[in-house]
Amino acid sequence: MTYQELYDKSMASPEVFWKEQAEAIPWFEKPKKILSKDQEGLYRWYEGGVLNTSFIALDHQVERGRGEQVALYYDSPVTGRKETFTYQKLLEEVSLFAGVLKGQGVQKGDTVIIYMPMIPQTVIAMLACARLGAIHSVVFGGFAPHELAIRIDDAKPKLLLAASCGIEINKVIDYMTIVNESLKESSHQPQGCIVYQRPQLPVPLKAGRDHDWEDLLSRAEPAGYVPVAATDPLYILYTSGTTGRPKGVMRDNGGHAVALKFSMEHIYGIRPGDVYWAASDVGWVVGHSYIVYAPLIHGCSTILYEGKPVKTPDAGAFWRIIEEYKVKVFFTAPTAFRAIKKEDPNGTLKKKYDTSSLDYLFLAGERCDVATLEWSGKMLDVPVIDHWWQTESGWPMLANMVGVEMLPIKPGSAAKPVCGYGLEILSHNGESLPPNQEGAVAIRLPLPPGCLPNLWNDTARFLSSYMSAYPGYYFTGDGGYIDDDGYVFITGRIDDIINVAGHRLSTAKMEEVVASHPAVAECAVIGIEDQMKGQIPVGFVVLKGGVEKSEEDMEKELIQMVRSKVGPVASFKKVAIVQRLPKTRSGKILRRIMRHIADGKPFSPPSTIEDMTVLPELEGLMKEKHIGHSTDSQP
C-alpha cells in the first residue's frame, strides 16, 4: 500500500482505521467504542478498553520470547558506566520497584513526580508507575526550585522520586537541595520522597520524609500489573505556557500505546529486535515516547545515553554509540548536529567509526535548516528525515513515513501529514488556503489516538489554548504552507512572522539563507521593533570552529545572501557574531526572549533555559552593537 492510499484510508474512515491498528496491542478487554466523546464533549479513543502499558512493554514481550533480548542499553560517558538490561531483567526490576511504590501506598490514579537524570532508575520508575496504574510526571532534572514547586502544586503527587544528583558534562548538580527548596515553597506536600543515592554526591536524608531507594528495594516484594481503562491517564508532562504557568499535557493509556506502536513500524520503519536510539532526555516528550515507551512496546532495544553530542568526550560521541550498539534508526534534534559540525566541521572524528548499521536519521524538535540536513546526510550517508510534532501530539504529525513508502526528500519540508492528521493551512478568518499560501497550521478534529485528550485538571485552558482560535480544529501555534506536491513547510511559530513596512515576512526563511553560509554553525534571525518600518530582522550567528573571517566581512556576505534570495524588502541589514545562543535544554533557541531583550521588554527566563549567563552576555552585545531599543531607527 502506498503512503497516499494508507493516509486516505485513515482520513476516510478513522474509526475503522484505528480499530485495525488497535489489533496490534494486547488488550485485557477490547474497546466497546473506538471513538466517542466524554462528559465534557471532548473526543476520546478506545472507550471501554482495558490494558496496562507496562504489561505491553515488558510482560508481553517476555511472553513472546524476548526475555533474553536487550531491552535497554545504558551508556554514561559522564560516569564511565555502562549497563545492559534484558526484557526479563527489566521486568524484574520494574516489578520490584512497583512493589516499593505499592508499599508506600501508591495506588491506581495516584500521581508521582519523578525528578531524576538519565539513569536506568528513571525508566524503571516510569514503568513501575504505569504498572500500578499510577500517573507519573517527570520533571526535567535540574529545573529550578520554583519550577519544581509549581509542578508539585499542580500534580499533587503522593510521592516524589529523586536522585541525589545529576551530571552535566563534568558538573555535578545537587538535586536534593533543589527538592528541599521546592518543598518549602509548594503548598502541596507529598507523603514522602524516595531518593536514589548516586556515588558522585551522596546526600543526607530528612528523617520522617525521605526514604533510601536501595533500602526500600531490599525489603520489597514484586508487584503485578493493574488493569486500567484505555482512557485513564498514563502521565502528565508539563510544557511551557505563554503565561509562565506550565500546561500539564495529559496522555491516556490506550491511544498512546496504539499510536506509538503504529509509529515505530510505519513512520520509523523499524522492526522488533532492532536497536533504536533517540538522543534526547526523559524529561521531554521525545524521551517519554521514543526512549522509553515506543521502543519497548514495539519489542526493540533502546539506548539511554547520559551524555552530550560534544564534550563527552568529544564530537565523535554519537558516532561511537551508533557503531557500538549497531543502531538501526537514530532520532535527535538538529541542534545536536549543529554542535558537532561546529566542533568538527570536516567530520574528522567520524572517520574513526563504522556507522553502516544505520538506515535512517530522523531530526525534530526545532526547525531543521537545509545546511544541517545536508551535512548530516553527508556524514552518515543515509536518508535524513526531518519530521515535525509537539509535546501535545506525543508522536509525529508530519513525516516521511519510510515504513510505508520512502517519498522524495524536499529539504526544508517535514514531508506530508502522518496518517490520522487532517492538516490544513488556515487564513486568519479560518478559511482553508490554497497551495503555496502561508497561514496557520491546524488539524481537523478529531485528533488521532496518542494526542492529548485534555490538560490536567484544566479543561478551560485546554479549550482556550488549542480549540478556540479555529472551531473544529486543533491550532498548533505554528505557521506554514503546503506546496503543489502536498509537502508541508513549517515556517515557525506564528509570532516568528514579522511585519516589515507592511510586508509579512518569515524570519525562518531568512534563517535558512543565513544558515547556508559555509562558515555558519548555527544562527537565529529575530524581528525587533523599529520606529520607521515597524519591525526589522537582525541575525545572530555562531561561526564554525577554525573560521577566520572578520565580523564586517561576514555581515556583508550574509546581507547580500538574504538580499538576493529573499529580496531587498526584507531589510536585513544587521548581523552580530556571538559565541552562543540562548537555548532550552532540549536545544530550542529562545527567539522570543531574544526579541524581548532587543525591544527592552520585561521577561521571565524560562525554567528550561540551558545557561542563564547567556542572557546578560546577549544584552551587553546588543547595547554594544546598537541593536534594539537602545538606538533609534535609521531610514
Residue 502 above 70 pLDDT?
Answer: no
Residue 244 above 60 pLDDT?
Answer: no
Task: Please list the residues that pair with 100 across neighbouring strands.
Answer: none
Q: Which residues of 544-575 are buried (b: 16+ CB within 10 A; e: fewer)?
A: beeeeeeeeebbebbbebbbeebeeebbbebb
Query: What single-letter amino acid sits at 268?
Result: Y
Predicted confidence at residue 630, as pLDDT, reads: 44
Structural element, H or E, at residue 540: strand 534-543
Q: How many domains does the chain have?
A: 1
φ, ψ of residue 55 to 5 degrees: the values are -60, -45
Is 559 a member of any domain? Answer: yes
Distance CA 271, CA 248 (A): 32
Q: pLDDT digit string (tens) for 270-303?
A: 999 999 999 999 999 999 999 999 999 999 999 9
* Average pLDDT of span 36-55: 97
Distance CA 425, CA 305 (A): 38
Is 542 a member of any domain? Answer: yes
Is 548 a member of any domain? Answer: yes
Predicted confidence at residue 501, as pLDDT, reads: 63
The overall average pLDDT reported for the chain is 93
**DSSP 3-state percent helix, strand, coil across the chain (nearest 5):** 35, 25, 40
DSSP letters along 38-57, please?
A: -TTS-EEEEET-EE-HHIII
What value, to the nearest 5°, has the Cα angle with vertex 294 and ends 108 and 120?
70
Residue at grid coordinates 509537502: 487
Is 553 a member of any domain? Answer: yes
Here the CATH number for the domain that contains residue 618 is 3.30.300.30
Query: What single-letter amino acid sits at 406?
Result: M
Query: What single-letter amino acid sits at 154?
Result: D
Residue 3 above 50 pLDDT?
Answer: yes
Is 376 a member of any domain? Answer: no
Q: pLDDT digit string (tens) for 197-220?
A: 999 999 999 999 999 999 999 999
109-118, 215-224, 422-431, 563-572: least confident range: 563-572
Predicted confidence at residue 635, as pLDDT, reads: 29
Give the domain extent around 575.
Answer: 501-624
Predicted confidence at residue 9, as pLDDT, reads: 98
Rg of the Cα trace of the chain?
Answer: 24
**Which of residues 563 and 363 earns the better pLDDT score?**
363
| CB-based contacts of 568, cutoff 8 Å, min separation 6 | none
Under the banding of pLDDT at 50, 70 and 90, the label for residue 366 is confident
Distance CA 293, CA 625 (A): 48
Is 53 a member of any domain? Answer: no
Is 307 a member of any domain? Answer: no
Cis previous bond, 446, omega within 30: yes
pLDDT above 70 coverage of the chain, percent: 97
Under the banding of pLDDT at 50, 70 and 90, the label for residue 503 is low
Residue at grid coordinates 517527570: 138
Q: Which residues of 272-309 are buried (b: 16+ CB within 10 A; e: fewer)?
A: bebbbbbbbbbbbbbbbbbbbbbbbbbbbbbbbbbbbb
Q: pLDDT digit string (tens) for 411-456?
A: 999 999 999 999 999 998 999 999 999 999 999 999 999 999 999 9
Residue 619: all three cell numbers together:
544584552
Q: pTM for the whole thing?
A: 0.85
Q: Are 389 and 420 in contact (CB under 8 A)?
A: no
Longest dimension (CA), the chain: 75
* Closest to 131 in 3D by CA, of 96, 104, 159: 96
Is 201 a member of any domain? Answer: no
**How many H helices and E strands in the chain?**
20, 31
| CB-based contacts of 575, cutoff 8 Å, min separation 6 | 514, 538, 539, 540, 541, 551, 554, 555, 558, 559
Q: Is 534 left (phi over 0), alpha (psi -120 to 50) or beta?
A: left
